[in-house]
């Protein structure tokens, strides 16, 4: 990149860094003020002035002395108003408009491994189409014995499965390849979600239509204005690809492909074509835009890696992080997320000194293949600065590389598949910043 290019990126990143470190905290402060004002206004009885502790134990607070709101006041439940800053956010300079754009999952604020439907990151190339499921069809044709056009009702008559799987855009963290540093976990790793998906195995649908001898690829096409199209090898299609219509117990959200999308577990998010309208069976890939000009990785020698489908193992510490700093010295549970497109997470190590010493973290709760896995590490923080890192290993034995190792192999021209070990610098105040070290 030219000097001017570097300056431009630095300038833009500076602005984002400012915005990122400023917005959540200010939001929260204003919000708490607003929340308290609201609480004071809504209840009968004494208003609570700042510093008023009359509602703290052993006193009885006003909301215990009055009736709350009744059922179906809110027919579709929403989070508490006090959670109003737990939202998807965008990086405004990243895309020219919000039609072909991306929003990021608020990873710092989430618990467990499931991403709530309203917080799943969004990526679309031509906006969210308005689709009436009654008018939607899925056509399966090409090298098949019995081409079909399915209604949603037809599709839902096939036996279904439900699985918990992550979706990650391979551009996640891509801004960091050339040294750019986003000062918020939401922006360094937030093109990532994990839901319980329900639908029909693609293998079942392919069996229904009868794949002809010699067929080896499946083309998936979306019904959005971008008509997004990707070539999927038959091996994957018959292994664990799913045609899904539900996420986390309810119909897909419009942003996630309502009424139906393809899900290629563990593979780059781009292959999970949303608003799925067509599957064509063929004997070679179609070399669409999204697998040639985009979603290929430019190597130092000028050649490009193509069909880089798998999201290799990655991990990040989610607490502490820039949005959720430590406060006073004391005992903390460091937490984070690890995932691998090749299967289960076998092990996660944590370093407090920038990768010199490593200690094994505990894997919490469910450890599922191709799903987010939460890890935890108890630490007595004495108030000294530290360089916090996590390093995951998946069940194939593959270990997350350092940024230096990754750059040595791939150079710095890539955008996609940055799965390097991430470093947070913890300072004496408990504040956290994004740093890159060897």
Residues interacting with ligand MTE, by CB under 6 A?
Answer: 120-125, 167, 169, 193, 222, 224, 226, 228, 255-256, 269-270, 272-275
- 139/399 with CB nearer ligand MTE: 139
DSSP secondary structure, 153-189, as one string = HHHHTS--EEEEEEEE-TTTTGGGTTT---SSHHHHH
- Does residue number 228 form part of the binding site for Mo ion (CB under 5 A)? no
| Distance, CA of 413 to chain centre | 23
- 228/345 with CB nearer Mo ion: 228
CB of 283 to ligand MTE, least distance (A): 24
- 258/416 with CB nearer Mo ion: 416
Residue 177 binding partner per list Mo ion, ligand MTE, none, with a CB distance cut-off of 5 to 8 Å that depends on partner kind: none
- 250: nearest Cα among 179, 326, 323, 198: 198
> Which tokens in the block code for residue 297?
């990785």
Residue 394 binding partner per list Mo ion, ligand MTE, none, with a CB distance cut-off of 5 to 8 Å that depends on partner kind: none
- Does residue number 105 form part of the binding site for Mo ion (CB under 5 A)? no
Sign of CA dihedral 147, 125, 113, 111: negative
Residue 85 binding partner per list Mo ion, ligand MTE, none, with a CB distance cut-off of 5 to 8 Å that depends on partner kind: none
CB of 337 to ligand MTE, least distance (A): 16
CB of 294 to Mo ion, least distance (A): 9
Residue from 169, 226, 243, 372 binding Mo ion (CB under 5 A): 169
Residue 418 binding partner per list ligand MTE, Mo ion, none, with a CB distance cut-off of 5 to 8 Å that depends on partner kind: none
- Does residue number 222 form part of the binding site for Mo ion (CB under 5 A)? no
186 CB contacts (<8 Å, ≥6 apart)?
Answer: 20, 89, 104, 105, 106, 107, 108, 323
From residue 224, alpha-carbon distances to 111, 256, 267, 275, 276 in Å are 32, 12, 21, 7, 9
Q: Residue 135 — φ and ψ, nearest 5°?
A: -100, 5
Residues 401-437 as b or e (16 or more Cβ within 10 Å = b):
bbbeebbeebeeebbbbbbbbbbbbbeeebebbbeee
Residue 274 binding partner per list Mo ion, ligand MTE, none, with a CB distance cut-off of 5 to 8 Å that depends on partner kind: ligand MTE
- 17/120 with CB nearer ligand MTE: 120
- 62/269 with CB nearer ligand MTE: 269
Do 284 and 217 meet the contact criterion of CB atoms below 8 Å apart?
yes
- Does residue number 341 form part of the binding site for Mo ion (CB under 5 A)? no
- 255/413 with CB nearer ligand MTE: 255
- Does residue number 269 form part of the binding site for Mo ion (CB under 5 A)? yes
- 236/391 with CB nearer ligand MTE: 236
- 173/269 with CB nearer ligand MTE: 269
Do 133 and 223 meet the contact criterion of CB atoms below 8 Å apart?
no
- Does residue number 317 form part of the binding site for Mo ion (CB under 5 A)? no
Region at 177 (left for phi over 0; alpha for psi -120 to 50; beta for the rest): alpha
Q: Residue 81 — φ and ψ, nearest 5°?
A: -60, -20
| Segment lying near Mo ion (by CB under 5 A), choices 84-92, 136-144, 267-275, 380-388 | 267-275
Residues that bind Mo ion (CB under 5 A): 123, 169, 269-270
């Amino acid at each position: 990149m030219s000097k001017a290019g570097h300056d431009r990126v630095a300038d833009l990143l500076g602005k984002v860094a400012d915005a990122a470190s400023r917005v959540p905290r200010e939001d929260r402060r204003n919000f708490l003020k607003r929340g308290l004002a609201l609480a004071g206004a809504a209840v009968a009885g004494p208003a609570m002035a700042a510093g008023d502790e009359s509602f703290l134990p052993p006193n009885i607070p006003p909301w215990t002395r009055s009736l709350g709101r009744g059922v179906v006041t809110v027919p579709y439940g929403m989070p508490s108003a006090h959670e109003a800053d737990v939202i998807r956010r965008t990086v405004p300079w990243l895309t020219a408009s919000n039609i072909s754009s991306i929003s990021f999952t608020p990873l710092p604020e989430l618990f467990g491994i499931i991403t709530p439907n309203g917080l799943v990151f969004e990526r679309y190339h031509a906006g969210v189409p308005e689709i009436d499921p009654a008018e939607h069809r899925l056509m399966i044709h090409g090298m098949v014995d019995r081409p079909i056009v399915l209604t949603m009702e037809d599709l839902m008559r096939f036996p279904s499965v439900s699985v918990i799987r992550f979706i990650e855009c391979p551009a996640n963290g891509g801004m960091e390849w050339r040294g750019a540093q986003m000062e918020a976990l939401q922006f360094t790793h937030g093109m990532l979600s994990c839901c319980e998906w329900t639908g029909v195995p693609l293998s079942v649908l392919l069996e229904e239509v009868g794949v002809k001898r010699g067929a080896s690829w499946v083309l998936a096409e979306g019904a959005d204005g971008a008509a997004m199209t990707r070539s999927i090898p038959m091996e994957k299609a018959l292994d664990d690809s799913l045609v899904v219509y539900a996420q986390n117990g309810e119909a897909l959200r419009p942003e996630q492909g309502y009424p139906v999308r393809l899900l290629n577990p563990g593979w780059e998010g781009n292959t999970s074509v949303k608003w799925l309208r067509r599957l064509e069976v063929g004997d070679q890939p179609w070399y669409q835009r999204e697998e040639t000009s985009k979603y290929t990785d430019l190597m130092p020698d000028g050649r490009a890696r193509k069909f880089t489908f798998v999201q290799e193992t990655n991990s990040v510490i989610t607490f502490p992080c820039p949005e959720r700093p430590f406060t006073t010295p004391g005992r903390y549970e460091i937490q984070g997320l690890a995932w691998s497109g090749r299967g289960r997470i076998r092990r996660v190590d944590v370093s407090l000194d920038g990768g010199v010493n490593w200690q094994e973290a505990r894997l919490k709760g469910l450890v599922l293949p191709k799903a987010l896995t939460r890890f935890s590490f108890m630490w007595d923080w004495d108030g000294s600065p530290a360089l916090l890192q996590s390093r995951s290993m998946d069940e194939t034995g593959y270990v997350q590389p350092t940024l230096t190792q990754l750059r040595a192999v791939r150079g710095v021209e890539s955008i996609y598949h940055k799965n390097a070990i991430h470093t947070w610098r913890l300072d004496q105040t408990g504040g956290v910043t994004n740093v890159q070290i060897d």
